[in-house]
Chain A
Amino acid sequence: MTTDSSGDVRLSGIGKTYGAFTAVHPLDLTVPQGSFFALLGASGCGKTTTLRMIAGLEEPSSGTVHLGDQDVTALPPYKRPVNTVFQSYALFPHLDIFENVAFGLRRRGIKSVKKQVEDMLELVQLGEQARKKPHQLSGGQQQRVAVARALINHPKVLLLDEPLGALDLKLRRQMQLELKRIQTEVGITFVHVTHDQEEAMTMADTVAVMNAGRVEQLGSPTDLYENPQTTFVANFLGTSNLIEAEVDTKNGDDIVLRAGGGKLVLPEARCSAPTTAGGKVLVGVRPEKISLTHADDAGEIPEGRNRITGRIAHSSFIGVSTQYVIDSQVCPEFEVYAQNIERDPRLTPGADVVLHWSPVHTFGLDAAQDIDAGIDEQAAV
């Protein structure tokens, strides 16, 4: 990666409204040169509109788009040094693969395109297919043509609009790695729009989670997963157990909370909500951080861990792990993923159990939010 900033994408106050409907609320966003940036969200969250405003295919209602130092807001798409890999590829059906890839070069008046196109097709391993029409290729091959057609122009930024959406799961995994490899190789800034949280986390350095036309949270995949700052992010990225709790006291760097009859400890640094005594906070914990112990062995649990009692409602064995749903006083459907290392035969539906986890795995969210935000969106995906 370079320190050159000519490939920065800088959005300032950019927003889009259609009549009374606001697709994208004015937002500021900087994508540094050479990074792999993902816009993640459910359909209709404004991620594609944002991408299309960078491409010039959508006119922003407010704000500006900068590429490096150049203000491109007023430039039509064909004058922007940006190329797009479209959803379902948009390969020209009347042109063969060679001509599809050569299209951008030819439009810029470059005469000798043969060598470049052949090299590019070689790079995406489609040299043999140059004279075929797009409909004669498989989905994965079409996808590679779309990437080649965009990359051959050496754009400052490559925009990818759900580029893997039409592929089956296995091929999608393969292409994820492939795209990541190409990005590292060419060093171009990639802006990737997807609704698939796993895809975003596997490929991107930085992920912006969008919801209802706003960026909910921005950060590295680990940051987002470990420290979600809104219920939407907590529920949309993976699964979270959220418990309504009340602030009791502060103890050094930790906050002590009351939930049900018990107490929970939350490091203050991991709480994104205001914590005045008596105030409400949503306490979250990821299902795989939780350990499950049979109620008879409750005494063996080390001190200093957060604990909740409950009863196993049902369990499903899925090979690498077992997923339990626990009924407890503080949360009706507590999810726990236990790795299948040593299985306790007593942990069957109906058994009384104690759930416990380390306070450092706890996060705190503002209780004023909808506790279920992001769950339906994830299910819809």
Chain B
Amino acid sequence: MATLTEAPPPPPPASPPAPSAPEKKPPRKRGRLTPYWLLLPGLLWLVVFFALPMIYQASTSVQTGSLEEGYKVTWHLATYWDALSEYWPQFLRSVLYATAATVLCLVLGYPLAYLIAFRAGRWRNLIMVLVIAPFFTSFLIRTLAWKTILADSGPVVSFLNTVHVLDVTDWLGWTSGDRVLATPLAVVCGLTYNFLPFMILPLYTSLERIDVRLHEAAGDLYATPLTTFRKVTFPLSMPGVVSGTLLTFIPAAGDYVNAELLGSTDTRMIGNVIQTQFLRVLDYPTAAALSFILMAAILLMVTLYIRRAGTEDLV
């Protein structure tokens, strides 16, 4: 550092910070409207083809009339009551099947996501491709393949029969007799299969962010591998668990493809009812009311779940 034998006088401040009179100037508008122009077309699209239809549907659900004479808004709220009292078993079934599929997806998907994130090494990319690639085969074709896999004379059913698993599931009401097809088990199996990637991908994303050294640190602090998982890995992967369960549960609850292709009339879900009412029976008010109840129920459950799980930024 410089040393001085003789101290010079303090220099006059070259240009002291002096407040000067604020000049009145019109604020320059550098593209203040740009965001609105950018948003306009897309939002308009969503308003007209997503939000507006919801309103139309709400209005339809309180209309009465017939196809021939036309419908009028009569605030006939009894439609809701009638729909619920007639179709509550399908509603209940949807929730049960979707819950079962979601739990299965979590149980099956977690090890695979963990494997890709921490244990796959140079195989990581290949496994990722294999998880995503089935998407490119139409999901209907893949769902139909389950008809072959679970066929009555197929190897899966005869194996399950030999080890008497089917006796247990029959007793539980999941299957009936020597069949798996056209039973709740087949539908849940199909739902699980169809939405599994939606569980694996968010799980993987949140697992991949975890620093591997945290595992080592936990081990260093006397945690067994199981404790490490329970106390460190799993809590840190919660965002993935939350968005994964939502991405699985919501479409599963509204699905009717699996119930139609793999199930029977005893496994009809609420999606099947809405589809039939809308496209075959043409009872629009009932269909609209059912669809509205489904939407409200799911939004309610999702809100409660998110509040419980405490992860708000899902987008």
Contact = CB atoms under 8 A, between A and B. Distances in A.
Interface of A: 12-13, 15, 25-30, 59, 61-64, 74, 76, 206, 214-215, 217-223, 225-227, 229, 238, 267, 269-270, 272, 288-289, 360-361, 363
Interface string B5-47: 1111111011111111111000010100000000000000000
Given A219-B14, A226-B2, A13 B7 contact: no
B3 to A, nearest CB: 8
A74 B21 CA distance: 18
Nearest to A289: B3
A227 B11 contact: yes
B10 A222 contact: no
Contact of B18 (A28, A220, A223, A272): A28
Contacts of B10: 223, 227, 229, 269-270, 272
Contacts of A272: 10
B55 interface: no
Contacts of B14: 30, 206, 218-219
B7 A361 contact: yes
B2 A225 contact: yes
B20 A360 contact: no
Contacts of B2: 221-222, 225-226
B67 interface: no
13 contacts: A15-B22, A26-B20, A28-B17, A30-B14, A63-B23, A218-B14, A220-B11, A222-B4, A225-B1, A226-B8, A269-B10, A289-B3, A360-B7
B5 to A, nearest CB: 8
A61 B4 CA distance: 42
Contacts of A76: 30
A194 to B, nearest CB: 18
B interface bracket (residues with beta carbon within 8 Å of A): 20 to 34
Contacts, number: 86
A25 B11 contact: no
B13 A218 contact: yes
Contacts of A15: 19, 22
A223 B20 contact: no
Given A27-B17, A229-B13, 20 more contacts: A13-B18, A15-B19, A25-B19, A26-B18, A27-B18, A59-B28, A62-B20, A63-B20, A63-B23, A74-B28, A76-B30, A206-B14, A217-B13, A218-B15, A227-B10, A269-B9, A270-B10, A360-B7, A361-B4, A363-B7
Interface in B141-190: none
Contacts of B18: 13, 26-28
Given A227-B7, A361-B7, A215 B19 contact: no
Interface string B94-111: 000000000000000000
B20 A28 contact: yes
Contacts of B21: 13
Contacts of A27: 17-18
Contacts of A229: 10, 13
A214 B7 contact: no
Contacts of A267: 7
A13 B1 contact: no
Contacts of A360: 4-7
Contacts of A29: 15
A219 B3 CA distance: 16
A378 B80 CA distance: 69
Contacts of B9: 269-270
Contacts of B1: 225, 238, 288
B15 A62 contact: no
Given A218-B15, A288-B1, A62 B7 contact: no
B7 A226 contact: yes
Given A269-B9, A270-B9, A30 B20 contact: no
